[in-house]
Amino acid sequence: MADGPNEGTPIRPLGRRPGSNDTRKVVLDAARARFAVDGFAGASIRKIAADAGVDAALVVRSYGSKDDLFAAAMAMPPETAVALAEALDGPVEGLGERLVRAFLRMWTAPESSGALLATFRSAVTNERAAENLRAFIRARVLEVYAPRFPNLPDAALRATLASSMLIGVVVGRQVVGIDALVDAEFEDIVALVAPSVQTILVTERMR
């Protein structure tokens, strides 16, 4: 009886290799998943190629360097981030709940979570990823929130604090995997966090 494949050897899919466009998508999906797990420093072209079931040389031909592949992996569909701006529209009384729901959904939706988690995990060791995350928060939260509340001189600080609180929830639930957060229902988290975010964003401080 013939021996099976060596342990740890990636199993390549049988049949015709995917075409050019399909290959790029397979590689990009594998890269997002790998960067999300290992961060920029821990991921490698070889690992990503194995995950995608292709040769490392094909990854290089498709995307160039690891830096170029990482840049592509961090990109998100524009419509994904629009949800944050839309959450700031509507009655001010429900602002906290709308923003919490939109922010947390963005980190769990299949079309956006891979890029965001890859960026977040890599931001610790990669300045390009850190700047990308800062730019995302500036563009999608700070620059959208502040003009809506011109009477709040500390609007930038408020938006940053709210974003930091929500990122903390994401870290606990999706990165560290704290049991209570992982097991909690999405709507229960929204209900508990939204009042605090509402207070931070719109309640004027006592002078």
pLDDT digits (tens, 9 = 90+) for 101-119: 998 998 888 777 878 888 8
Q: What average pLDDT is seen over the chain?
A: 82
Of 56-60, 131-135, 168-172, minimum mean pLDDT range: 131-135
The fold adopted by the segment(s) 20-74 is Arc Repressor Mutant, subunit A (1.10.10)
Residue 196: pLDDT above 90? yes
Q: Is 14 exposed, middle or buried (0-12, 13-18, 19+ CB in 10 A)?
A: exposed
Q: Which two tokens stand for residue 189?
A: 């988290």
The pLDDT, as a whole number, for residue 195 is 96
This prediction's pTM? 0.69
The pLDDT, as a whole number, for residue 39 is 83
Q: Helix and strand tally (H, E) in the chain?
A: 12, 0
In this structure, what DSSP letter does residue 171 have?
A: I
The pLDDT, as a whole number, for residue 178 is 94
Q: Is 189 exposed, middle or buried (0-12, 13-18, 19+ CB in 10 A)?
A: middle
Query: Does residue 17 or residue 169 have the better pLDDT?
Result: 169
- Percent share of the chain, pLDDT over 90: 30
Q: Band the pLDDT of 15: cuts 50, 70, 90.
A: very low
The pLDDT, as a whole number, for residue 132 is 77
- AA letter at 97: E
Query: Does residue 197 or residue 14 have the better pLDDT?
Result: 197
- CATH number for the region 78-202 comes to 1.10.357.10
64-97, pLDDT tens digit by residue?
Answer: 888 888 888 877 666 666 777 788 888 889 999 9
| Rounded distance between C-alpha atoms, residue 178 and residue 199, angstroms | 26
| Rounded distance between C-alpha atoms, residue 161 and residue 158, angstroms | 5
From residue 167, how far is each of 59, 98, 121, 161, 204 by CA, in Å? Answer: 32, 16, 12, 10, 23
Domain ranges of the chain: 20-74, 78-202
For residues 61-94, b (16+ Cβ closer than 10 Å) or e, as one string? ebbeebeebbebbbebeeebbebbbebbeeeeee
| Rounded distance between C-alpha atoms, residue 184 and residue 167, angstroms | 16
The pLDDT, as a whole number, for residue 5 is 43
| Rounded distance between C-alpha atoms, residue 162 and residue 193, angstroms | 10
